[in-house]
Amino acid sequence: MKIATYNVNGINARLPILLRWLDEAKPDVACLQELKAPQEKIPEAAVRAAGYGAAWHGQKGWNGVAILVRGGEPEDVRRDLSGEPDDAQSRYIEATVRGIRVGCLYLPNGNPLPGPKFDYKLRWLDRLATRAAELLDEGGAVVLAGDYNVIPTDLDVYNPARWVNDALFQPEVREAFRRLVDSGWADAVRSLHPTERIYTFYDYFRNAFGRNAGLRIDHLLLSPALAPRLSAVGVDRDVRGWEKSSDHVPTWIEIADA
């Protein structure tokens, strides 16, 4: 079973890219972020014609997340992350797919800092940690996949010095991510490739992709019940080179049958 996460940066602007990638990569589950479309303007018919059932949490203008299931439907969908009942930002969706609980998240960027956006990012990390602990308590097979907007270590950024003042690389953000992982999760990419430079994002600016000036900020965290079934991980780096691509790269794992 192949589970992927992909920040599409506008699902309507990116629809040809998304459909081509689904056709070529054939993920069984695709967690999408930054749909940039309200609930009623997600291109559901095109997604279904490509062979995918879907559940999504849209928002006008920004954010928006979706879970796509090849030849099936997401079950028991929830779209909220507890802790901030009035939160209007669509950044989380969770569903069950063939016995695996899939959380799809788009963590706030947090720039500029200090300021309310950075404070919101820290609160969101707390809320995610709370949900993650609940899921661990349930003991099942879980993957938390998405755009975390966190650079975990120096190995995950082409030039650490350039990012020290950025919200993605702040010590408290990195520590919060580390605490989350250490509470019982496996960072799938690092489980199989502990020392390799693997990037999932390349800025549109400054020919970042051409220079391989990337970041690893899209992550898949696996619960203890799921981690032993991990058989492969990868990034579809070539997708970033397609014309009109997202600035993110699809990132995926292969899970063996239970």
Q: Known catalytic residues?
A: 106, 147
Q: Is 28 a binder of DNA (CB under 7 A)? A: no
CA distance 171 to 155: 15
Q: Which two tokens stand for residue 68?
A: 């796509």
Residue 223 CB, shortest distance to DNA, in Å, is 25
Torsion angles phi and psi, residue 154, rounded to 5? -60, -30
Q: Is 60 a binder of DNA (CB under 7 A)? A: yes
Asked if 18 and 8 count as a contact pair (C-beta separation under 8 A), the reply is: yes
Among 48, 179, 193, 206, binds DNA (CB under 7 A): 206
Residue 255 CA to its chain's centroid (Å): 17
Residue 135 CB, shortest distance to DNA, in Å, is 24
- Give the three-class secondary structure for 124: helix
Among 65, 144, 217, 239, binds DNA (CB under 7 A): 217
The interface region with DNA, picked from 8-16, 69-77, 123-131, 136-144 by CB under 7 A, is 8-16
- Terminal Cα-to-Cα distance of the chain (whole angstroms): 10
Among 1, 5, 6, 14, binds DNA (CB under 7 A): 14
Q: Which two tokens stand for residue 95?
A: 């569903």
Asked if 252 and 219 count as a contact pair (C-beta separation under 8 A), the reply is: no
Site string for DNA, 145-164 (x = CB under 7 A): --x-x---------------
Q: Any idea what the Cα angle at residue 258 is, between residues 48 and 132, rounded to 5°? A: 75
Q: Is 42 a binder of DNA (CB under 7 A)? A: no
Positions in the binding site for DNA (CB under 7 A): 7, 9-10, 12-14, 34, 36-38, 60-62, 108-109, 111-112, 117, 147, 149, 165-166, 168, 201, 203-206, 215, 217, 244, 247-248
